[in-house]
Chain A
Amino acid sequence: QKEVEQDPGPLSVPEGAIVSLNCTYSNSAFQYFMWYRQYSRKGPELLMYTYSSGNKEDGRFTAQVDKSSKYISLFIRDSQPSDSATYLCAKDSSYKLIFGSGTRLLVRP
Chain B
Amino acid sequence: KAGVTQTPRYLIKTRGQQVTLSCSPISGHRSVSWYQQTPGQGLQFLFEYFSETQRNKGNFPGRFSGRQFSNSRSEMNVSTLELGDSALYLCASSVTANTEAFFGQGTRLTVV
Interface residues on A, range: 20 to 34
B105 touches A34 (CB 8 A): no
| Residues A44 and B90 in contact in the complex (CB < 8 Å), given A32-B98, A95-B56, A95-B97 | yes
A80 within 8 A of B: no
B103 touches A36 (CB 8 A): yes
Q: In chain B, residues 75-112, which have Cβ atoms closer than 8 Å to a Cβ of chain A?
A: 90, 92, 97-106, 108
A100: chain B residues at CB < 8 Å are 42
Q: In the complex, A46→B35 CA distance in Å?
A: 15
Can you offer 14 A-B residue contacts whose CB atoms are under 8 A?
A: A30-B98, A32-B98, A43-B6, A43-B90, A43-B105, A44-B103, A92-B97, A94-B56, A95-B31, A95-B33, A95-B48, A96-B33, A101-B42, A102-B42
